[in-house]
Amino acid sequence: MTVRYQIRLPDPALARGSEPALAFTANGAEAFAEQLQDALRTPALFERWRAMQPEPDEVNPALGATDPTATVTGEQHDLAINLVALTSIPGDILQHRLRLLAGNRWEMRNVSKG
């Protein structure tokens, strides 16, 4: 089932996770959307995070779920960036990826069936 997640980055310059190797590097709505889309479509972000864990082999592989058809669009609204993600990835996994990318500098605005 595809779910539509509406996400807001109120201050994009501060939307960076605590680990630079995992955090957003984007500037601009399209770049943020592209980086989140990649984090949902491919295992690259998850694999980098897992390799940093004390016991990488003990990390639940379900956290590495991907959705090759996920799409993310972004638009600038005043100073904030609004992202819309359409994906079958469960919400808890999407939120984990957002925390890696943006730390706690994001807001989930709405969740609905895609």
Sheet holding 107-113, edge to edge: 71-77, 80-87, 3-9, 107-113
pLDDT at 114 exceeding the cut of 80 = no
The string of DSSP codes covering 68-88 is: TT-EEEEEEETTEEEEEEEES
The string of DSSP codes covering 18-68 is: SSTTTS----SHHHHHHHHHHHHHSSHHHHHHHHTSSSGGGS-GGGG---T
**pLDDT tens digits for 49-106?**
999 999 999 999 999 999 999 999 999 988 999 999 999 999 999 999 999 999 999 9
Identify the CA nearest to 1 among candidates 73, 85, 86, 98.
Answer: 86
Q: What is the pLDDT of residue 111?
A: 92
Mean pLDDT, to the nearest integer, of 29-49?
98
Q: What is the pLDDT of residue 49?
A: 98
Binned at pLDDT 50, 70 and 90, residue 37 comes out as very high
Domain boundaries, the chain: 3-113
